[in-house]
């Protein structure tokens, strides 16, 4: 049994496919890349499979993600954060000495 839930366009020739399937006699949720090109059309090895008995755990983890954490930060903020992290790391290393 295979049931496609949805597709998300990743690039012009690659989709992320979410489906429920039966692999080796075990139901689960599969999230894999599907490529369309001149040389190959089909699923790649990239992806993951969540067994049906672990789906509630997976769902709980996904739902716990704060969407604000996924928002893009302006480039200057990213640079400042990297500098701040570097300075903090240096300070911690100095304290350890």
Mean pLDDT per 10-residue run, the chain (97 residues)? 93 95 93 95 92 95 91 66 60 54
Token pair of 91, please?
């300070």
pLDDT at position 73 is 76
Residue 70 pLDDT: 87
Residue 77: per-residue pLDDT: 54
pLDDT tens, position by position, 70-96: 888 776 555 556 655 666 556 555 555
Tokens at 90, concatenated? 């240096």
How many structural domains is the chain composed of?
1
Contacts of 68 (CB under 8 A, 6+ apart): none
For the whole model, what pTM was predicted?
0.65
**Predicted pLDDT of residue 32:** 95
Q: Could you list the residue range(s) of the whole structural domain that residue 62 is in?
A: 2-96
Q: What is the CATH number of the domain that holds 42?
A: 2.30.31.10
Q: In whole angstroms, what separates CA 90 from the centre of its chain?
A: 31
């Amino acid at each position: 049994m295979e049931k496609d839930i949805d597709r998300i366009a990743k690039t012009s020739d690659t989709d992320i496919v979410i489906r429920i399937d039966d692999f080796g006699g075990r139901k689960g949720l599969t999230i894999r890349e599907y490529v369309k090109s001149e040389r190959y059309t089909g699923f790649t090895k990239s992806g993951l499979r969540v067994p049906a008995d672990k789906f509630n755990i997976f769902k709980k983890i996904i739902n716990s993600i704060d969407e604000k954490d996924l928002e893009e930060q302006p480039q200057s903020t990213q640079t400042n954060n990297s500098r701040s992290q570097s300075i903090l790391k240096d300070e911690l290393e100095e304290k350890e000495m």
